[in-house]
Each structure stands twice: as structure tokens, then as C-alpha cells.
Structure 1
Amino acid sequence: MTSSNVIRIGLIINPLAGLGGSVALKGSDGAATAAQALALGAQPQAQQRTMQALKQLGACSEQVQFYCGSDELGEQVLQQLGLPHQVVYHPSTQPSTAADTQAMARMFATEQPVDLLLFAGGDGTARDICAVYPDDRPVLGIPAGVKIHSGVYAISPAAAGKVLQKLVSGELTSVTRADVMDIDEEAFRAGTVRAKRYGEMMVPAELQYIQAVKMGGKESDELVLADIAADVIESMEDDTLYIMGSGSTVAAVMEELGLANTLLGVDVIAAGQLLAQDVTAKQLEALITAHAGPVKLVITVIGGQGHIFGRGNQQLSPAVIRHVGVENIIVVATKRKLQQLNGRPLLVDTGDPELDQELTGLQTVTCGYHDQVLVRIAGV
């Protein structure tokens, strides 16, 4: 079991990425093209470029735990760099294929969930991952392919490493949705660029600390809270039960909905209607049990120490949180509040050490309208 202060990173290396570039094949999609590139003397690039990225971690390497595939799928690079890792996937054939990339991505989404999926490859690799990996979980691409049209890749391996270092060290890092693009390699070889969009994934973005308006004070905060409320409300679904935690940021959501709110308590809503006010843990459990559809929890940072659980919201008991599920927790906070933590992580103190462990890692925090950042959660 990893420490509560460790970031879990899933690593996928496409060892065939970039093979076709140096031998003028304009890509390396497909086993036949990769074999042709190797026969022409092409040298694999993906592992070396992954090393360039991971070397940027420096002292932060003690704060990460990697999960990877065997041999050239990630294990070799991590062994050479001496980075903590666990091999969780073994390909059934050699060389590995796109099916292995997708199998690992599925594993990192379900059986071995990670805080960040890091992958090295080209547009084909991004396509394979986009097809099976949830689009609301952060990923980061290390450019290693011939074709890099997708917005999910850093501008260089070193740049990917620097972004990774910022995430691990706890810096406030914005996230955005980026397009996954790819071109038709056969048409490209014939001199025609025919690009197609295959979806989008969530990636770290440039640090953005600018609030909705430049001035500080109450008016600025009110505008930011209105933006946060608009984002949360836009994503609400009628069949979902929403548990609304305490605090002024959540209160802004309730105000925007036109519903009464218990500032220092927990309320429950569904389909835009208030179902229960100032509920206890037992009442919450009963409401969750009686509800046939999904349940989500909206919470904010409580107190000056960065707690999201265990300070002023004990109604959100371990049983309630487990019923909701880690993936259904929506954290809202202004960037001003997060910046006041000075890089310290958010904290969880549910009274259940195992649950605290499950809650640790990187958490997406809504800070405005379509504006999110990644923040670390740690146990106490």
C-alpha cells in the first residue's frame, strides 16, 4: 500500500512509436509498418523520450508510485531511473500491439486506478487511449511519435516532465480538455493531410491564476462563486441525488438554484428541488438507500487547514462517502482559497484510515465556469 502522500501514476509506453520517422515512412501505425521501419534500421525512440521526461522529477520522485507494463512497456525505463514502480501488465505477444495499450488504459481506469495516466507515443497511441479511458480523468502525453497533431501532448519530453513535477510538488495546475486528432497515414504518404477528431481528454494546462475580474474583494469573490455555481448546475442531472456539503462556496450553488441552504450543515436535493435540510449521517444513508439513481456529493474546502472531510462536516460519515463513491465527489473552491494553502495538499480525516487512503491522490477542483485545477489530497 502506498503512502497517503504518494501520487499514483500509470505509465504506458508505446515502444513502436516514432519508428517510421527517421526512415521516411511518415508514421508507424500498424505492425507491418513498424516491422518495415525496423528492417530499414529505425531505432526506437519512445523509451529514451520517456526517460527525458521522468528525469525532470528530481527530488519529487520520492512522492510518486508508478504502475506499468513489463519490459519495454515501462518497466525497463523505471528500473533504469530507479523510480518506485509495480508491474501490473504483461503483454501476451511480442511486440506489443494497440490492444495492449488499450488493455493497460482500461486497467488504470478500473482495476488499478491512478491519479494520472502518463503515456509516450504519437497520435495513434492517443487515439487508442481515448477510445477506452474516461474523459474526466487527467492524462499527459510524452511526444514520441511521428505524427503529433493531438493537443494531449506536451511540447517536448522535458516539458512533460516539468508539468509532471509541478503536479507532484503540489503546485496549482489548471486542467483543460484537449482534442485527440490523427491523420490518415496512407493519404499522408501520398501527400494529402486528412485529419480527423477522435474525441477529447483532460490534460494539465498552463498555470492560470486570473480570477473572473482583476480587482479583489467581495464583488470579485461573488462573481467567481457565481461562475462555480453555473458550472456545477450545468452538469446536474435530474435522476441524480445531490448531497450538498457545508460552506459558503456550496451555499452559492444553492442560492443560484433558488433553494434554502444550511450554511453549516448538509442538505439534499434532486431534480432542482430541496429534499431534506440539515441532515444527519443516518438520514443521509437512508436517503441514499431509497434513491434508485446515481448519488453525487458537492463539497468545498473547510477551515484554514485545507480539510475537505473531517472538519465541520462529520455528517459525511465513512459509510456515506463509500455509498457515494470517490468518483462521484465534486470539490468546489475559489483559486484564492486554494492559493492560500501555499502548496499544501487538501486533507481528509474521515475517521476511517482505509477510506482516507482511497481518497488520496490528485483531485479535480472546480474553480469557475469550465475552469478546473488539479490539487493533491493527503491523509492527516
Structure 2
Amino acid sequence: MNIKSEKLGFIVNPVAGIGGRVGLKGSDGEEIVEKALNLGAKPVASQRAKEFLNELKRLGVILQIVGYDGEMGGDEAREVGFDFKAVGSAKRSKTTAADTKRAVKDCVKSGAGLIAFVGGDGTARDVLDAIKEGVPVIGVPSGVKMYSAVFASTPRGAARLIYEYLKGRVAARLSEVFAVDEEKFRSDLLSIKLYGYLLTLSDPILLQASKTPTLVTGDELENQKAIAMRLIEEMTDNEIYILSSGTTTKAIADMLGLPKTLLGVDVIKKDRVIVKDANEAQILEAIKGEKAKIIVSPTRRQGYIFGRGNQQISPEVIRAVGRSGIIVIATRGKIATLDCLRVDTGEPQLDQQLEGYYRVIVDYNESQVLRCIA
């Protein structure tokens, strides 16, 4: 059935997420974007935008899309075949936060009753700064960290949220937007604060929760050590281990006496570090021709094992290791915040292959089985 609707404001931050695979832990600022490109990074926002639009079209949603011409959304909307009306364009070839804010205001002025934006936490803050009160939004995830609670679970999830909203089956509620200090983040320090609230399309499955940092209690630390001890006993001398970000994986390196970045991805053997704070290319080089495993802990409250803050573990890396080489660990405190695991690798076909059930190690002698969804 075709669904007809009001205008949809559509805004793409073309450089969102560009720093992920090259290990830059964010994409805010022209200097970081330039550095990412010099490291061989490829833009990801356009593909995420098209994934969203193609799903919207598959669902039979017929609407006029308004936004800015070119790489801020017009190119993707026309390519997919939507009726697109340009209400402006970026002031210069390299888009800025100011362009996003102007685009939001111009979309609303043109009659858009709903805004979909492609980006990360920084883009969400720009939207919040510019949006008119009462206009709902939905974030199409394309950033690196995405701590805020305004993003759909995947680009396809964003399309389904809009479909359900237009059918009257989901409502909008105020959701948190967080500010993460990227400079500190790149120095392995987490500085996060509440920036404000956006009226967001809401659904417990299709909308991701906000990510919360781990509270380091005595029980949590002991639980992490017990998990680390279990993993170390199972490690072999001839395997390579890709340790994802987080305090639970860091506990493994700590017990081995090896340095480990808290917010990065590291490649180790049982007795040494191969690459510290590795990017995608370095991981692929390190595991070439070797037997490797990925050790990952889901994001607290969100449940993502891939696609949030660890894009260095790319689809190519995951395929090279294989599903059987993925080890999921989580403390009891973290597992209590989750209903399921999630994946959002940027490749829908791989996401589907990763769906299913995983054994999650939660203590030295304890595991739980959780379903993973895309």
C-alpha cells in the first residue's frame, strides 16, 4: 500500500562517520576530515542516506522531500527517485555546521512537518540548535559513536519508523542529545554531557537508546576481572585477538600486562601488542594469513557489538575472522540493561548474516544467550 504524507525535510552531513574506519573516533572539524581523507577514509554518509531512502521507497511511502541540493541530500533523493525540491544549498564546497542549521530552518520554512537527518552526535546538536519547537525528527545513524537517543537502530530502521509514524502507530517523544568532547575522546578520555532534547519518533526496537558510560564499582571491576581470567585461560599462543573498545575488554589486556586503549581497538597476541589503537587497514594487515578472533562487548543500554564506536572492525575485518571467531563479553550489570544484541555494520547483507543467537560470557563460569538483531 502506498502511504502519502506531508513534506519530509532531508539533511545529509556528507562527512559524518568518515573518521570511523581509520580510527579517528569522530569526524567533527575540517582538520579531522582532512586527516581522515589522507589516511584513505571513504565517505559513508551518502551510502547510509541511500539505504534509508531505498527502504522508504520499498515501504511505499510517497512524499515530497525538501532539502539542500548536492551532497547534502539532493543527490541521493534524486538518485533513488523521490520527488525532491531544493530549498537551498551549502555556502561552499566543504559543508559546515552552519549549513546544517540553515538547512533545518529552510526545510521547516518550506513546510516540512518531519525532519530526517543523516549524521552523528554532532549533527544532532546542530539540528537541535536550529529546529522549530514541535517538529519531530529522526536521525539516520552515520556517525562514529552516537551516544544520543535520537537515532534509529539502522538506516532501514529510520525508514520503518517514518512509515509507522505516518500510519499513526508510533508517536514522538523528547529524547536526549549528548555532547562528546572528541578531542578528549581521541586522547582516550571520555567527556560527555547532556546537550538538550529533540522531539524524536519513538519505538523500543527501531530507535536506539542513549549510551551510558560504565559506572566503575567494586562489583563491576571484580566481574570484569573474572571475565578476563576466563578469556585468558582460553587464549592460545598462535592466535591473534582484536580487542574492541571499552572497560571490559581493557580488563583482559590489563591482566595480561599489556597496554590497551580504552576507547580504541587494539590487536594483540597473548604475550604482546601487535597494533595499539589500530585502524581498519592495520587490523587487516595484522590478521592476514593468521587465525584471529574478535573480542567485543556490547554498548551499554544499546546492545551494539558492531557499528557504534568500533567501525575499525569493518565488514572486511568481520568477514576475514568469520562469525565463529566473534567472542561477546559483558558484565552482569551491562547485560541487565539489554534485551538483545544489535549490529549495524553499514552492509545490510552482512548484518543479516550476523543475526541470530550468541553466547555472552558474563562471569568466570557463567554465560547467557542473547539474540542479535539488525
Q: 1:132 maps to what in 2? A: 130
The structure 2 residue matched to 1:144, chosen from 130, 142, 145, is 142
- Equivalent residues in 2 for 1:18-29 (5 A)? 18-29=17-28
**Rounded Cα–Cα distance in structure 2 between residues aligned with 1:127 and 1:59:** 30
Aligned partner of 1:204 in structure 2 is: 201
Taking the aligned partners of 2:88 and 2:195, their CA distance within structure 1 comes to: 26
Preserved contact between residue 22 and residue 42 of structure 1 (Cα < 8 Å) = yes
Q: Which residue in the other structure is 1:79 paired with? A: 78
Matches within 5 A, 1:38-77: 38-58=37-57, 60-61=59-60, 63-77=62-76
Return the alpha-carbon distance in structure 2 between the equivalents of residues 177 and 185 of structure 1: 25
Please name the residue that 2:10 is paired with. 11
**Aligned residues: CA RMSD:** 1.9
**TM-score, with normalisation over the residues of structure 1?**
0.51
Fraction of identical pairs, as percent: 33
TM-score (ref. length: structure 2): 0.52
- Match status 1:193 vs 2:214: no
Q: How does 1:223-242 map to 2 (within 5 A)?
A: none
Q: Which amino acid aligns with 1:152?
A: V
Residue by residue over 1:320-339, the C-alpha shift from the partner in whole angstroms, topping out at 9 and shown as x without a partner, is: xxxxxxxxxxxxxxxxxxxx
1:145: Cα distance to partner? 0.6
State the match for 1:227 in structure 2.
none
Higher Cα Rg, which structure: 1
Q: CA deviation at 1:190?
A: 1.0
Q: Which residue of 2 aligns with 1:301?
A: none
1:167 match: 165
CA deviation vs aligned residue, 1:201-246 (integer Å, no higher than 9, x gap): 11111289xxxxxxxxxxxxxxxxxxxxxxxxxxxxxxxxxxxxxx
Match of 2:86, SS? Answer: strand
Structure 1 gaps of 5+ residues are: 209-380
Listed one character per residue, the Cα deviations across residues 348-378 of structure 1 (whole Å, up to 9, x for unaligned) are: xxxxxxxxxxxxxxxxxxxxxxxxxxxxxxx
Contact 1:136–1:201 (8 Å) recurs in 2:
no
2:174 partner amino acid: R
Matches of residues 296-307 of structure 1 in structure 2 within 5 Å? none
2:109 maps to 1:117: no
Per-residue Cα deviation, 1:25-84 (whole angstroms, up to 9, x for no partner):
110101111111111111111111111112222355552110021111111111110111
- For residue 162 of structure 1, report the CA deviation from its aligned partner: 1.0
Shift of 1:108: 2.2
Tell me, what secondary structure is at the counterpart of 1:173? coil
Aligned to 2:152: 154
SS at match of 2:157: helix
Please name the residue that 2:96 is paired with.
97
Give the counterpart of 2:175 among 155, 174, 178.
178
Contact 1:179 1:200 in 2 (8 A): yes
CA distance in 2, matches of 1:180, 1:135: 15
Name the amino acid aligned to 1:84: D
User: Which runs of 5 or more structure 2 residues have no equivalent in the other structure?
Assistant: 206-374
Q: Distance in 1 between matches of 2:47 and 2:163?
A: 18
Kept in 2, the 8 Å contact 1:20–1:37? The answer is yes
8 A contact 1:56–1:165 mirrored in 2: no
**1:72-122 deviation per Cα after TM superposition (whole angstroms, max 9, x unaligned):** 11111111101111111111211111110000111123x213110000000
Task: Compute the displacement of 1:126 (Å).
Answer: 0.3
Q: Distance in 2 between matches of 1:68 and 1:141?
A: 15
Cα distance in 1, alignment partners of residues 117 and 201 from structure 2: 14
- Amino acid of the structure 2 residue aligned with 1:89: G
Any conservation in 2 of the 1:12–1:118 contact (CA below 8 Å)?
A: yes
- Structure 2 partner of 1:298: none
Q: How has the CA–CA distance of structure 1 residues 78 and 195 changed in structure 2, closer, same or farther, with 3 Å as cutoff? A: same
- Secondary structure (helix, strand or coil) at the match of 1:206 reads coil
1:327 equivalent in structure 2: none
- Cα displacement string for residues 279-298 of structure 1 (whole angstroms, at most 9, x for unaligned residues): xxxxxxxxxxxxxxxxxxxx
Instruction: Say how many residue pairs are matched.
Output: 203
CA drift of 1:188 comes to 0.6
Q: Matches of 2:142 and 2:4 in 1, distance apart? A: 30
Structure 1 letter corresponding to 2:158? A
- Aligned partners of 1:17 and 1:144 also within 8 Å: yes
- Report if the CA contact (8 A) 2:18-2:41 is conserved: yes
SS of residue in 2 equivalent to 1:165: helix
Give, as a single letter, the amino acid of the residue that structure 1 aligns with 2:173: T
Give 3-state SS (helix, strand or coil) of 1:131's partner. helix
Q: 2 CA distance for matches of 1:61 and 1:113?
A: 21
Q: Give the corresponding residue for 2:272.
A: none
One-letter code aligned to 1:145: G
Which 10-residue stretch deviates more, 154-163 or 55-64? 55-64
